Structure 1
């Protein structure tokens, strides 16, 4: 196997799309999702126009960005796949909701900082006014020392 690439113990040159796909299914059934992911990715590299490999990959992906790409590939291959369209729409809605929540948190923090600063300025002004009034009353009571 010196001139052949080995992938997880499988001679890559001798394997077909179906071999990788079936090996991925077996790994998935055994609970080895990492190996299933790697095998299905290899199958997708061999034949990226097979819908079933993208559907399989969708099961083992952890990140929404990866899922989005997978769903877009499924829809590109089979525009009539309503389930993939619904899942992609749901991902887009979830991303939009997360973005709105992030912006809302950002503005909440900005408002809290603004409120704190306003309180600080008011405190300083009230303190300065109280000190001025205190000095004025002292002058009235004790007279101007000069």
Structure 2
């Protein structure tokens, strides 16, 4: 709105668009105030406006996504399923609609980059297992 001329501002304030936006803002502020007063009675949509995201919750969400990706990669490797199958539309659609956090599973190239890390974990686990059973070096 051009604020240098009073008539332009007055016309805008009298317009339907300004009235609708002002009503929408007022309703949103009332809902937020109600949610602040009684948090238990708010719907998820209303709580989303009030809830603050902390660093801990961001880290926890990232860790949960990485756990899903790692477990999925381990399952593919254990079942001897080629990583290229992840990119197929039917598989991708299934993951996004039926698996919790399935949309966070990356494509083939990103999964392939995680294999060395997974291999190192497996080798460390295997070495610890061999040592625990006494199958280490003989003297």
Q: Above 0.5 in TM-score? A: no
TM-score normalised by length of structure 1: 0.30
- Asked which structure has the greater CA Rg, the reply is 1
TM-score normalised by length of structure 2: 0.31
